[in-house]
Structure 1
Amino acid sequence: MKLKRFLLRYFPPGIILEYEQGGSVKTKSVDLLDLQPGTPVDAVVDEITRKEPLITASKTDQVRKLIIRLQEKLNQRDDHHFYLFKVLRAHILPLTNVAFNKSGSSFITGSYDRTCKIWDTASGEELHTLEGHRNVVYAIAFNNPYGDKVATGSFDKTCKLWSADTGKCYHTYRGHISEIVCLSFNPQSSMIATGSMDTTAKLWDVETGVEVSTLSGHSAEIISLSFNNYGDELITGSFDHTVSIWDVRTGKRIHTLIGHKAEISSAQFSWDCKLVATGSMDRTCKIWDAATGRCIGTLRGHDDEVLDVAFDYTGTHLLSASADGTARCYDTVSHNVISTLQGHEGEISKIAFNPQGTTVLSASSDKTARLWDPDTGACKQILEGHTDEVFSCAFNYEGNTIITGSKDNTCRIWR
């Protein structure tokens, strides 16, 4: 094994090692989730060199400089005020979803008009229209961190794989017998998972277009799925009130998370893959130990259905968004409420931390998106102008650009 170069990852803080082994180039990441601006640098360097054989004594100076750069980034003030940069009359029918590529240089929109469009963020220019689906394009994703491919899942029961650069369709994945409502690439970009109203999830090979396995076991539609950061496990959330954790290599179920009393709306792994958070129509969130499948906390307080959940990168804070018009920020260790985000006049369907974990973004049926301080619950800014429900929102990787998607058929870029 020979170390070729270091790559820096600001959010969450980490150093990526690119190395050569057996003639091929591989990467591994040194995660520094606990790094703070005041953490003693030498102690971090000692810890890394003790655990990581690729980093020899001659490389410690380089590592020290990288850690200082990460600390400088963490120390930057977060007082960004967003302004409306562009309104895109994106589609002839309402949008379903929006998503950035890793760098934030482009983003995609899905729509009831049966297409997905790729946009240039800096200019607001349409780059490609991905046409071919015969029904609503509901689920969309870039193969981040690479960003050279786009997957689209449709009510026509198929998933398609496209070139982000040319708009060419590589594969059409057929096999589901009902609508596809969620999808995700694994981190290696070698596999796509699709979840369907037919109660199954399927794994597909990106390169060959072949079905790898069918994950059967749920008794109602699967509406949420995501890989962990290693790509070896997948979680599926279902209307059957349960969440399943699957072994991607074997297609076998590892755990069934049982305890919610109504449909699951959202299920997420924490960045370090140790925790799973679930939101449910039963008005609660639950936190689970991913290794054992045991419920370690039930988070209460909402007066209506929980529609979305999101971790920060440390896994110590969890957001919940509810149909009661409020959001909450919880401490995942104590399970206490840190803050309640109040101000929206309609249900909140989408919620996210910025990459730094210092600001919360919410999208609501009251036609606005809002920015919040997660520690105090104070509203920092209201993103106004949409003329119908805002149901999708996302930060770019740097956290300095936002896209909002609305039922008014437009998408807005905020900078």
Structure 2
Amino acid sequence: MSHPKLKKFLLRYYPPGIILEYEQHGQLMQKSIDLLNLTPDDDVEVVVNQVLRQEPMIGESRRETLQKLVFKLLDKLQTQDHQDFTLFKVLRAHILPLTNCAFNKSGDRFITGSYDRTCKVWNTFTGDEVHTLEGHKNVVYAIAFNNPFGDKIVTGSFDKTCKLWDAHTGQLYYTLRGHATEIVCLSFNPQSTIIATGSMDNTAKLWDVERGTELCTLLGHTAEIVSLCFNTTGDQIITGSFDHDSKIWDVRSGRCIHTLSGHRGEVSSTQFNYAGSLCVSGSIDRTCRLWDVGSGRCMSVRQGDGQGHTDEVLDVCFDATGKRFVSASADSTARIYNTMTGQCLHALVGHEGEISKVSFNPQGSKVITASSDKTCRLWDTETGDCLQMLEGHTDEIFSCAFNYEGDFIITGSKDNTCRIWRC
């Protein structure tokens, strides 16, 4: 029996953790120690002792190194930037409206999809167009980088196909054919070995990245699949459908593990928390529901109890650690919840139109909302205060994203432009 030999430590800031790179049986492996509950007030010694106790691979001789790493993580947690974002570039990105935008992990590139049938790759720091990915015969709707690697891009189109591209050269690797109707959502698994696509044909499909072949079809939904998301380990996927249900699937077998039933309207959005123990779904029925992944049971329903949404929930999302989640609604508000208690911490009030997209910055200190009132707003997650309005788009904004460091934002609008903001 060969014992694992620790080679080096790597830091992960969002969510906080230490990754061990070790050698076993001649192979280089990784294992992560998640410190999801780390706060700036924590005592470094207590944290270090805890890690040493739970991880036999780290000996007492590494205590000092470990201390330095924990100090770094705490330092990063404390630098709560309160600088404003300023407009950096306006990109006349496409000749027709944009559909979606997304960053790669390092944040130096982002992509935009459009009704003009193309996906464009941009340099964040110069605003220059790097590549135009052409070949789809209809709207390019769903797009993604294979983060954290960032060397591949996948595009899903209303032409029923999905295309896999080289992010550096813009070269087409494969066209994935098999869906009967439009592809409206997609994702890479975190390992970048599998692509999942969701379609208006009521199915999701899993594809092999290496070979460009179909692995399996996820059958069971009775209406369009509009949302899908892998868990962190990549062994499960959640789909949300217009049939009012979400389903959790086993990626290896393609088998449905749980059907999450309870919503009385179409599901608009779904996501796992970082630990993969919970998932959240938002629905047109004005509620969002928190589910236990292990049992498939509904843990809590947030609805019209005096502090719930009064119109359709259009987007839901967890922060990086999973401590909080946020919902965005057609009622022009977003709401931040404590995951453990289900309590509504803040109602984010101020937009004059529906909010279609919401997300936390990686640090979890801010929330960004994109609205049909042509503005994005930044909110403080501790106080619920509006920190800033991002103004200038001349039509509704339906896409917004932070980069991994949280110091750049991109916003995509129906006005055919994309704006880069930086702080």
CA distance in 2, matches of 1:199, 1:77: 43
Q: Deviation at 1:18?
A: 1.8
* Equivalent position to 1:110, from 110, 113, 135: 113
- Which of 373, 384, 389 is matched with 2:380 structurally? 373
Query: How far has the Cα of 1:105 moved from its partner?
Result: 0.9
Unaligned runs of 5+ in 1: none
Match of 1:241 in 2: 244
8 Å CA contact 2:379–2:387 kept in 1: the answer is yes
Percent identity, aligned pairs only, is 66
Q: Which amino acid aligns with 1:275?
A: L
Determine the structure 1 residue equivalent to 2:344.
337
TM-superposed CA distance for 1:368, in Å, is 0.5
TM-score after normalising by structure 2: 0.96
Distance in 1 between residues matched to 2:133 and 2:29, nearest whole Å: 32
Is the Cα contact below 8 Å between 2:80 and 2:365 reproduced in 1? Answer: no
Q: Deviations over 1:190-222 (max 9, x none)?
A: 100000000010000100111111100000000
Q: CA deviation at 1:21?
A: 2.8
Q: Provide the TM-score with structure 1 as the length reference.
A: 0.98
Q: Please give the residue correspondences for 1:164-183 in structure 2 after superposition, counting only pairs within 5 Å.
A: 164-183=167-186
Counterpart CA distance in 2 for 1:212 and 1:23 is: 30
* Structure 1 residue 313, shift from structure 2 partner: 2.1
Measure the CA separation in 2 of the matches of 1:2 and 1:187.
25
How big is the shift at 1:78? 2.4
- Structure 2 distance, partners of 1:188, 1:314, is 19
Structure 2 residue ranges without an equivalent (≥5): none
Question: 1:374 deviation in Å?
Answer: 2.2
Does the residue aligned with 1:63 lie in a helix, a strand or coil?
A: helix
Q: Deviations over 1:222-272 (max 9, x none)?
A: 000000000000000000000000000111000000000000000010111
Name the structure 2 match of 1:157. Answer: 160
Does residue 308 in structure 1 map to residue 315 in structure 2?
Answer: yes
Instruction: Find the partner of 2:396 among 389, 393, 412.
Output: 389
Is structure 2 residue 359 aligned with structure 1 residue 352? yes
Counterpart CA distance in 2 for 1:50 and 1:376 is 36
The residue that corresponds to 1:274 in the other structure is 277
Correspondence for 1:294? 297
User: Does the CA-based 8 Å contact 2:411-2:418 persist in structure 1?
Assistant: yes
Give per-residue Cα distances to partners, 1:68-90, cap 9 Å, x unaligned.
00001111132020000000000
Greater Cα shift, 104-113 or 73-82: 73-82
> For the residues of structure 2 that align with 1:21 and 1:163, how far apart are their CA atoms?
32
Inter-partner Cα distance in structure 1 for 2:209 and 2:123? 24
- Contact 2:371–2:398 (CA<8 Å) still a contact in 1? yes
Shift of 1:342: 0.8
2:335 maps to amino acid:
R
Corresponding residue for residue 285 of structure 1: 288
- 2:195 aligns with 192
Distance in 2, Cα, partners of 1:25 & 1:172 = 33
Judge which range, 245-254 or 60-69, deviates more: 60-69
Aligned to 1:220: 223
Q: Note if contact 1:80-1:400 (Cα within 8 Å) is conserved in structure 2.
A: no
State the one-letter code of the partner of 2:176: Y
Partner Cα distance (1:54, 1:191) in 2: 31
- Of 123, 126, 151, the residue aligned with 2:126 is 123
Opposite residue 319 of structure 2, the aligned amino acid is: D
Amino acid at match of 1:244: K
